Chains A and B, each alone.
Chain A
Amino acid sequence: MKTMFLAFATIILLAFAADVILDYVPLSTQDVTSGQSVRLD
């Protein structure tokens, strides 16, 4: 059963790691709402 709980802990750890890492990845979903604007004038 220890292995099962170790796996569950790993899931949580990976989730927080993903949350942090994705903030620095160029493919981040941030692009959708805050993509660079292009001025036409």
Chain B
Amino acid sequence: MTRSLLRILCTLVLVSLGMVSPALAQEETAEVTVDRSATGGAQTLEDILARQQGLAIDDAFRRDDTGADRSGAAIADQLGTLGGASDPELWRALRYGSANVTVSTGAPAANIIIQDSGMRWLAFRDGDLRTYGGYLLLGMIGVLALFYLGRGKIRIDGPLAGKTIQRFKAFERFGHWLLGGSFILLGITGLLQLFGRVALIPYFGKDAFAAYAVVGKWIHNNVAWAFMIGLVWVTVTWISHNIPNRLDLKWIAVGGGLFSKGVHPPARKFNAGQKLIFWSVVVLGVSISVSGLSLLFPFKLPLFAATFEHLNAIGLPQLLGLGELPTTLTPHEEMQLAQLWHAIVAFVFIAIAIAHIYIGSIGMQGAFDAMGKGEVDEQWAKEHHGLWYEEVTGKSPHHPAE
């Protein structure tokens, strides 16, 4: 079941990004039908082989076969030592969470003795998540490298005015760097936590990685608060400047002038590209913060069963051919899904941030000054944010530099 959930999660992400079709999603979640008449309804070799191949199996025949008297002989009968229920029935009940378990510890979710989804979560985390997440980041770096080779640094076309105007006030820059600085720390420590076993241990050894992992986890858990404050700060500060309008369509139509010299579509304080970054940061930032809080306080903030219930209610999973999503999840499944969702969102977020960092530093002349010093050359402002320049100075951006 959890494997299906992982696929559902990834499919939802990919569909939302327009990368796969619903038809593909439907194909991936098809279940294997097995004839168990020869075993009287018990597990068959076909079940085992299908499971080993990672295929989805409806395991209701085992999940529901827990504690039925028909399976065990009465205790007074010959060979009835197991009583009314056999050991396998008990283990199945423990595995599928239907056993009535009492434990002495008060720790959350301690009465889950066997969590069936753990190994599948681990396999996905150490497999597809790392593989495709890594490809996404390397792909983004590759695309930007190709762009840089083809286009080079985007330079200011006209002569520098030698006179600057204020682009961002100090409180705007503070919020940006609070968010950006914490994001970089979280991104690096998060990636090292995920890739440490394959990227660090072979080179530095287990002892060194163990020592780092304690520090990395401390940084990741505690810097998260600066990120969340920065997210609120930036959202409140800039949301009014990021409402989409018709100018954005014109900007997008010419690719923002990024691909050809001398093309400068009109823009106010933020152009369409910056607005896309802004809304990506808001949406992904909220999602990663909520899932992060769920991970910071284990078992206290379950998210997914309730979310799946809402998704089922609006019919989205059914529309994508996934059927109804499960609305009953064990506490461990909730945590595993939170971790995976957190990581998937993080990969997309980091990929976008890499592009943002590129264009704000080596990709464009004068761009870093805007957020570094807060001041930009007037010629830069005229070319990249002509309407904003006009609003701030009262002068036409087409007027020659003074």
Interface residues of A (CB under 8 A from B): 1, 3-4, 6-8, 10-11, 14-19, 22, 27-29, 31-40
16 A-B residue pairings within 8 Å (CB atoms): A3-B170, A3-B174, A3-B374, A4-B173, A7-B178, A7-B181, A8-B177, A11-B178, A15-B222, A15-B223, A16-B222, A18-B224, A19-B222, A35-B107, A38-B106, A40-B102
A41 to chain B, nearest CB (A): 9
Closest A residue to B300 by CB, please name it: A27
A31 to B298, CA, bound (A): 9
> A1-B373, A27-B300, A29-B298 are contacts. A36–B106 as well, Cβ < 8 Å?
yes
Contacts of B161 in A (CB 8 A): none
For the complex, would chain A's binding face be called helix, strand, loop or mixed by DSSP majority?
helix
Q: How far is the CB of A20 from chain B (nearest CB, A)?
A: 10
Which B residues lie within 8 Å of A29 (CB)? 296-298
A23 to B101, CA, bound (A): 31
Listed residue (B102, B178, B224, B296) with the most chain A CB atoms within 10 angstroms of its CB: B178
B interface: dominant SS: helix
Q: Cβ of B15 < 8 Å from any Cβ of A?
A: no
Minimal Cβ-Cβ distance residue in A for B229: A14
Pick the contact of A37: B106, B182, B225, B300 (CB < 8 A). B106
A27 touches B297 (CB 8 A): yes
Residue B37, interface by CB 8 Å: no
Given contacts A34-B107, A36-B106, 7 further A-B contacts (CB under 8 A): A3-B173, A4-B371, A7-B173, A7-B174, A29-B298, A38-B105, A40-B102
The answer to whether A32 touches B108, judged by C-beta atoms less than 8 angstroms apart, is: yes
